[in-house]
Amino acid sequence: MSISEGISAARRSGDLQPLIEAVPYFRWLGLRVDREGDELITVMPFQDMLIGNPLLPALHGGTTGALLESAAMISLIGAMDTPRLPKIINITIEYLRPGGAADSYATGIVTKRGRRVANVRAQAWQKDRGKLFATASTHFLIT
Amino acid sequence: MKIDFDNMRQMMVGPIPHMAAVGLDLISLDDSGAVAKVPNRPEFVGDPDTGVVHGGIVTVLLDSLSGMCIMPLMDEGTMMATLDLRIDYLKPAAPKKDIFAHAHCYKTTRNIAFTRAIAYQDNADDPIANATGSFMLTRAERPGSKKAGSKIGSKPA
């Protein structure tokens, strides 16, 4: 399935899973998208291969960044009506505490959608949504 | 701290699951900076229409290397934790090519280290991404401190 077919199928059904299936890196990370009301929650189930510090143990910071970037993009796709994939311009990741060896969740909030650029903030948490372990601020090109 | 490069290179891949999973290979590490590579693999593709790698792989490479490049400048036992990392994606990565990165630490204070890094494919003068990072340092001479983070010299992630 091409990416635009994945996005179109996802939009028709309201289920973002076809989009996940169309992107090899999302499949490799084992990502899944849950819908809760208007929110799209991107889930990164725990796997040993996500560990960056075996002593703590803690997730690799890069996987946390990848989750935040993916969640920002998925929430943005959910808020738009074109079949094209937004292109990331930049991301600033803030690490608040180590991500533990547990399932991780993230969602994006579209703070501004212009004609060409969208600003999306993303938040990531594990067991307790009130205790974020990382946040990100992103820009995407959406033309 | 003097880095035993061969030792560091071995510690990078086997014992750190995510480094092994992406196949990250440390090419050089000294006071002037760090160079590493992630191989091209079909499962890293982020846009199946173009074959371009997902930004997450670039993030993993730049995050890892930005932390590692601080190590040669620190005393053994120093712990560090990433505060933030900003990545600018300058152009799409060309499909089916390995990605390299170079990182260096341009300033350290008692508590913070500041880094710059680029990711590139054929030519370091034509990077695909630029990163700036800041890291909290917990120096070894503060006894009893058990802050989260990686112990420099033993756990690079």
Dump pLDDT digits (tens) for A65-119. 999 999 999 999 988 877 778 999 999 999 999 999 999 999 999 999 999 999 9
Residue A1: the pLDDT is 67
B16 → chain A, closest CA residue: A52
Contacts across the A-B interface (CB distance below 8 Å): 142
Residue B1: the pLDDT is 63
Interchain contact, B43 vs A65, CB within 8 Å: no
Residue A2: the pLDDT is 73
Residue found under tokens 């112990």: B151
Q: What is the mean pLDDT of residues B133-153?
A: 67
Whether B47 shows a pLDDT value over 60: the answer reads: yes
In this predicted model, which residue has the larger pLDDT, B22 or B77?
B22
Residue B157: the pLDDT is 40
Q: What is the mean pLDDT of residues A6-30?
A: 83
Asked whether the beta carbons of A93 and A64 are under 8 A apart, the reply is yes
Residue B147: the pLDDT is 47
Residue B77: the pLDDT is 85
CA distance A54 to B156: 11
Q: E strands along B22-111, which residues?
A: 25-30, 33-38, 45-47, 52-53, 79-89, 99-108
Interchain contact, A52 vs B19, CB within 8 Å: yes
Contacts of A95 (CB under 8 A, 6+ apart): A61, A64, A133, A134, B81, B82, B83, B84, B85
* Facing residue for B89 by CB, picked from A28, A85, A89: A89
Q: Structure tokens of A135?
A: 């946040």
Contacts of B28 (CB under 8 A, 6+ apart): B5, B34, B35
User: Which residues of chain A have a CB within 8 Å of the CB of B17?
Assistant: 48-52, 54, 60
Q: For chain B, where are the alpha helices, taking DSSP H only?
A: 5-13, 17-22, 55-68
ipTM confidence: 0.92
**CATH code matching the domain that covers A3-141, chosen among 3.10.129.10, 3.90.1150.10, 3.40.190.10, 3.40.50.620:** 3.10.129.10
The DSSP element (H or E) to which A33 belongs, if any, is strand A32-36
* Facing residue for B47 by CB, picked from A3, A28, A52: A3
Q: Does A53 touch chain B (CB under 8 A)?
A: yes
* Facing residue for B42 by CB, picked from A24, A53, A90: A24
Q: What is the mean pLDDT of residues B51-68?
A: 94
* Facing residue for B148 by CB, picked from A3, A56, A67: A56
pTM: 0.90
Share of chain B above pLDDT 90, in %: 71
Q: Give the dihedral of Cα atoms A46, A2, B48, A126; nearest 10 deg.
A: -20
Whether B154 shows a pLDDT value over 70: the answer reads: no
* Per-domain residue ranges of chain A: 3-141
Q: What is the mean pLDDT of residues B138-143?
A: 73
Q: Does A85 touch chain B (CB under 8 A)?
A: yes
How many angstroms separate the first and last alpha carbons of chain A?
Answer: 22
* Facing residue for B85 by CB, picked from A29, A56, A93: A93
Residue A8: the pLDDT is 76
User: Which residues of chain B have a CB within 8 Å of the CB of A24?
Assistant: 42-46, 48
Q: Structure tokens of A105?
A: 């969740």
> How far away is chain A from the Cα of B32, in angstroms, using its nearest Cα?
23
Residue B2: the pLDDT is 65
- Domains in chain B with CATH codes: 5-151 (3.10.129.10)
Contacts of B142 (CB under 8 A, 6+ apart): none
Interchain contact, A61 vs B85, CB within 8 Å: yes
Q: Name the band, by pLDDT with cuts 50, 70 and 90, for residue B87.
A: very high
> How far away is chain A from the Cα of B66, in angstroms, using its nearest Cα?
11
Q: How many CB atoms lie within 10 A of CB A51?
A: 25
Tally the residues of chain B.
157
CA distance B39 to B20: 11
